[in-house]
Amino acid sequence: MKKFDVVVIGGSAAGIAAAITCRRHYPNKSILIIRKEDQVPIPCGIPYIYGTLGGPEKNLMPDASLQNNQIELLVGIVAEIDRAGKTVGMEDGERVVYDKLVLAAGSEPIILPIPGVDKDNVFAVHKNVPYLKKLLDKVNSSSDIVVVGGGFIGVEFADECNKGRDVKISIVEMLPRCLMLAFDDELCETAEGIQRESGIDILTSEKVVEFTGDGAVSGVRLDSDKQLRADMVILGIGAVANTELAKNAGLELGPTRGVKVNRYMRTNDEHIFACGDCAEKFSFFDGAPSGLKLASEATKEARIAGANLFSTRRMNCGVIGVFSTALGETAFAHAGLSQRCAIDKGYDVVIGEAQAPNRHPGGMPGMAPMKVKLVFERGTGIILGGQTMGAKSGGELINAISACIHQRMTADDIAMFPMGTHPALTASPIVYQLTNAAEMAIKAVSMSRI
C-alpha cells in the first residue's frame, strides 16, 4: 500500500493545476494524480476536434507537465474514499494512503430524460477520447445533424461540424436567443446572424420532446410539432458535477449539488479539498450559489486548493464568470454580469459603449472593428460586467475587464486606465475602447443629472 502526502483524484484541468500548485508551494511533498483515462482531452478544445483540429489526438493534455514537476500518475478507477483510514480504494483492489486529498473529479454532460434519448447516434459530449473519436466518425458520415442547446458548446459544435462538409446543421434552443445566458441581445443577434449566413439553421424558443427512429435516431420532434431530420444528434445542454465518490464518502453537497467547500476550497473534512466542476461555487457579486462550469474557473480554484493544503494562503472571492468564443472571424467575450442579468439582480445600471478599429490607422494589416460594452452600478460607479465583440483581440481584453471587476474599479478608474498602444497591435489611444466605454458611462450619468 503506497502512501503519498497529496493524492489528487482527477487528471483534467483542475487536477493538474492543483498538483502543480502544490508542488510549487510545498516542494518536498510527494504527490500522486489518479485518473481513469489513458489520455485526457483538453476540455475547451473538444468542439474543435470536429473541424479545425480534425481529430481527438490533436487535442490532448500532455503528461510532460506532471513529469517535469515530479508528480506521479496512476491510471485507474477510484472505487471509494475511506475518510477514517485516509485511504483511496481502487477498483482493482489497490489502496493508496493520503495525508491530504483533492477531489477534482470534474463533471458529466446533462442528459435530459427525453423519449428516445437512448437511441443510437444521440451523443452527449463525454470527455473520453475513444467516445469522441466515435462521435467524429459519425459526424463525417452524416448529412443531417441536430444540435440540442444553443450555449457555447452547442454553437461551437455547430460551427465546427459545418467546416468542410456538405451537411445540414440545426441548433435547437429553448430560450429566445442562442448564447442568451452569457450575452446581451445585440451580441446574441450578431452571433446568430453569423451562423445563419454560414448555412446553420437556428430554431429558438423551441423544446425537444422526442427523438424518433427505429433503433437509431432519424428525427427530432419539437414542442411546436415541427419535425427535423437527423441522422445524428449532439446534446450540448450543459454539465452536472461528478459527486458520486464524495457523496459515498459522506462529504456534504451544496445547493447546486456540487461538493460543498469553504472559501479555502476545503470540504467538511479538514483533510479533503475540492475544486473545479465537481465543487460548489458562489457568485462574486452577491454570494448566491452558481452553477457555472469553466476550465478557467476550475484552474483558479485548483490554485487556491493546491496552495492551501498544508497552510492557508489563498481565499476564493467567488465566480466572476469570464467567457469567450469565436464564430467565423468574429470573437465574442463576456466577464461578470450582463446588462440583463444585472437588472434582474436588482442593480440600477448605467451602460458605456465604444467601438473602434483594433489597429491605427485603420488601414494597418489585421484591422478589425471591436466593440466594448461595460455595465456599471449607477450609484457607486463600480463595474459589474463587460462584453466585447469583433476583433479576436477581444479574447484577451476581456481578461483585463475581468481584472477591473475583480478589483471593483469604478468608471473613473477605468477612464484613467494606463493602457499601452501600438499601431500594429491595438486601437488608437484616442479611441481605445475600454477607456472610452467608461467615459461614455460617465457621460450618461452626467446627462441624467441635468
Domain range list for the chain: 2-108+240-308, 111-237, 322-449
Helix (H, G, I), strand (E, B) or coil at 330: strand
Label residue 1 by pLDDT band (50, 70, 90): confident
Identical topology for domains 111-237 and 322-449: yes
Please give the pLDDT value at position 157. 98
Statement: the pTM of the whole predicted model exceeds 0.85: yes
d(CA 8, CA 65): 15
Confidence check: pLDDT of 172 > 80? yes
Kindly report the backbone phi and psi dihedral angles of residue 72, in degrees, each rounded to the nearest multiple of 5, phi listed first.
-80, 155
The pLDDT of 36-51, averaged and rounded, is 96
Question: Could you read off the pLDDT of 296-309 as tens digits, one per residue?
Answer: 999 999 999 999 99
Name the pLDDT band for 186 (thresholds 50, 70, 90). Answer: very high
11: left (phi over 0), alpha (psi -120 to 50) or beta: alpha
- Return the number of other C-beta atoms located less than 10 Å from residue 91's C-beta: 11
Section 131-137 average pLDDT? 98
Instruction: Give the sign of the dihedral formed by CA 112, CA 113, CA 118, CA 121.
Output: negative
Inform me whether the pLDDT recorded for 448 exceeds 80. Answer: no
Report pLDDT digits (tens) over 326-352: 999 999 999 999 999 999 999 999 999
Residues 2-108+240-308: name the CATH superfamily.
FAD/NAD(P)-binding domain (3.50.50.60)
Domain 111-237 has CATH 2.40.50.100: no
d(C-alpha 422, C-alpha 410), whole Å = 26
Closest CA to 382 of 309, 438, 323: 438
Structure confidence at residue 347 (pLDDT): 97
Is the domain spanning 322-449 CATH 3.50.50.60? The answer is: yes
CA distances from 192 to 158, 189, 358 (A): 11, 5, 23
pLDDT tens across 391-433, in order?
Answer: 999 999 999 999 999 999 999 999 999 999 999 999 999 999 9
| Three-state secondary-structure class, residue 279 | strand
Report the C-alpha dihedral over residues 199, 201, 204, 210, rounded to 10 degrees: -150
CB atoms within 10 A of CB 8: 31
Inform me whether the pLDDT recorded for 274 exceeds 80: yes
- Bridge partners of 388? 333, 372
Q: Is the CB of residue 375 less than 8 Å from the CB of residue 383?
A: yes
